Chain A
Amino acid sequence: MHNVWLIARREYLERIRAKSFIVMTILIPMLMTTLILGAALLSSRNGSMNHIAVVTTDPQFATDLGTELSTSAKARPSIDVHALTEPAILNQLDAQVKDKDGKLDGYLVVTPAAAGAARPTFKWEPKIKSDVIGRARIADAIRAALTRERLTHTGMSSTEVDAMFDPVELGAVAAGGPSANESAVAFGSAYGMFFLMYFVILFYGMNVARSIIEEKTSRVFEVLLATIRPEEMLAGKVIGVGAVGLTQVGIWIGVAVALIQFQLIGHDVHVLPTLTQTFFFIVFFLLGYLLYSSIAAALGAMTNSEQELQQMNIFLMLPLIACSVVIFSIVTNPESMTAKVFSFIPLCTPLIMYTRIVVGHPSLFAVTLSVVDLVAMIAAVLWVASRIYRVGILMYGKKPNLPEIMRWLKYS
């Protein structure tokens, strides 16, 4: 253990002190923030529904349409209302819509139905033909406006109609069950865990592999292996390089929490996860990270260059992608067979078992078993990786066979 600690400590200190670490720690959040803010800013400016024209005989309908659109858009679009009686108007609008620099985003022609009670017909001519979202919004708004109109016709007051159109709140479910807020948090934290792991593995797991390849090329290993075992060296690297990633993510999360705490950004973080959830989040996140880093270490031990490593990347990503596919069905049904099976596949355990703990009620035995399962898997992966490593560096390209591997065990 002492050797593992020494290796890990060296790896950690050397990396933390490197200038690139400091630069990355500051630069990445800055880039991310700029990107997100920039994108938000651009999309708010470039709304596709800022200015439309409605050709109708019914000005009230146009106003209602505006009200409906403003509930789904950020700002109430400005609406020009034209009477259908002017025949030249259609050509004029057409020209405006087709003008690239024009301000008009589209126009709607409402043709009243022949019979009084039937629906009018609509024709929507947008500036951007591919804007399917805008199209759907117009359709929704029209339907709502029509409903509103009909309801008013039957004699309901506008306040009554408004009350009917209010969104529905689903209050507390059965007593003892999770509240709406809690399940939202559960879902959110499961998803947060998923993205955090995906991100961290993608960015830092590969660092473990790279550091092992580096050691191979610099030939330092030969001195090290004269005193320590390959598995101690690999374990040290996984822990050391891994800790660097955790430190960086930790700094980012810490800063984000501080910002939220002081109300500098975001106001919609109302509910915090419970203590149990936080505990299991940390346990499963660390174990998952360890497992994936160990696999990355094995990949690094197998390959001799970064290029070869890139091709192996997919082996790290596949299990995560599989998890992202089943996670939906598990959130809705945490005690299903799929959920149970997946929570015991070590590569999926961290994500799936955590989700089950948050949304369902797995037995303590199952949770313990899955943790034991994970730890055993990590040890096994490291063990195999260290064998591959020893063979890889000393045998100059020859692949190991089983009897050889068995022989090495004797001395270890």
Chain B
Amino acid sequence: MPIVELHNIRKVYGSKIAVEGLTLTIEPGTMFGLLGPNGSGKTTSIRMMIGMTMPDSGAVSLFGKPFERQSLHRVGYLPEERGLYKKMKVLEQLVFLGRLHGLDERTARTRSMAWCERMEIADVVNKKTEELSKGMQQKIQFIAALLHEPDLIIMDEPFSGLDPVNATLLQDTLVDLRREGKAILFSTHRMDQVEKLCDSIALISRSKLLLSGSMREVKSQYPRNHVRMVFQGSDAFLQHPCIESYKNYAGHAEIVLKKESAAQSVLAAAVTGGTSVSLFEVMEPTLEEIFIENVRASFGDAEAGGKVDA
């Protein structure tokens, strides 16, 4: 039974089309990446999933049933624009938010304490929220979204503004939650995180769905014509006729081949030319490249420059 099913969703604000013809499915135990440039309709899509706005047409199903507010007790949401009550103490804030999600006071309190330990902020639970750093506030909001043990976790840009230590902490937590069978949807601009974490993705640009499916499916649509190379010595082999384009960062080259089969001959040319090769990896294009290529195409190349930020 899929956790989220959107079928042919459309939403229009006045004359601006926010989302059109969006269909996607999120299965339990998966991490789903919702990708797209700024203003492409990600946040609107998320809001329609949790009933904050209603689609103009199309159907939303949560947990196998048409949307109903009851289901919201099984959803945890971390919005992109963070907001907490500034004057409230951390623990009270968490208990309050937990109770709004249907927990009783004592459970909310125990779980809040446990989560604060896990997120390494147990020493600030009695401070006012406004006294904390931004990263800490973000952890609090992260906890607030998870207190009621939701089956669907929706996170809009969960790692933005966090230092690497904390970002890893949150990532690991999400990976643990996936292992427990929760479905996690997150939207982000950080393609490296998506590549590492996500099982499935959907790419939206200009209100429309460009790509969707499991990471493997999406990538298999692209030829394995990308080569990553680390070498020492002459770079003359880069002039090989089978090479479409390359970027050479002093001993670290990213090469796009004209066809998949040309990889071996490029390697042979390098070795013959006396270059010492310490790494030679043939692979599909990175998600970042797929993203940029698709978004560019959706805008038309001329417009793409200013509007795409991956």
Binding site for B on A (CB under 8 A): 3, 6-7, 10, 14, 18, 218-229, 390, 394-396, 398, 407-408, 410-411
Contact = CB atoms under 8 A, between A and B. Distances in A.
Nearest to B144: A223
12 contacts: A6-B96, A6-B100, A10-B88, A14-B88, A218-B83, A223-B77, A223-B145, A226-B52, A226-B72, A226-B75, A227-B101, A407-B54
B81 interface: yes
B99 interface: yes
Contacts of A14: 85, 87-88
Contacts of A10: 85, 88, 96
Which 8 A-B residue pairs are closest in the complex by CB-CB distance? A219-B83, A220-B83, A226-B77, A222-B79, A219-B81, A218-B83, A227-B100, A226-B50
Contacts of A223: 77, 79, 83, 97, 141, 144-145
Contacts of B144: 223
Interface majority SS (helix, strand, loop, mixed), chain A: helix
A411 B67 contact: yes
Interface centre among A221, A222, A390 (most CB of B within 10 A): A222
Nearest to B50: A226
A226 B102 CA distance: 13
Interface of B: 13-14, 47, 50-54, 56, 67, 69, 72-73, 75, 77, 79, 81-88, 96-97, 99-102, 141, 144-145
Contacts of B100: 3, 6-7, 224, 227-228
Given A219-B79, A394-B47, 10 more contacts: A10-B85, A14-B87, A218-B86, A219-B83, A223-B141, A226-B72, A226-B79, A407-B54, A408-B54, A411-B67
A411 B51 contact: yes
B47 A411 contact: no
A10 B100 CA distance: 11
Given A223-B141, A226-B52, A398-B13, A411 B69 contact: yes
A226 B144 CA distance: 12
Contacts of B52: 222, 225-226, 390, 394
Nearest to A217: B83
Contacts of B81: 219, 222
Given A10-B96, A394-B47, A394-B53, A222 B14 contact: no
Given A14-B87, A219-B83, A220-B85, A227 B54 contact: no
Interface centre among B53, B84, B87, B141 (most CB of A within 10 A): B53
A10 B99 CA distance: 11
A227 B85 CA distance: 17
A411 B53 CA distance: 10
A226 B82 CA distance: 13
Contacts of A407: 54, 56
Contacts of B53: 394
B141 A229 contact: no
A252 B85 CA distance: 30
Nearest to B93: A10
Nearest to B87: A14
Contacts of B85: 10, 14, 218, 220
A65 B25 CA distance: 99
Contacts of A394: 47, 52-53
Nearest to A11: B85
Contacts of A221: 83
Nearest to B75: A226
A340 B13 CA distance: 46
A20 to B, nearest CB: 11
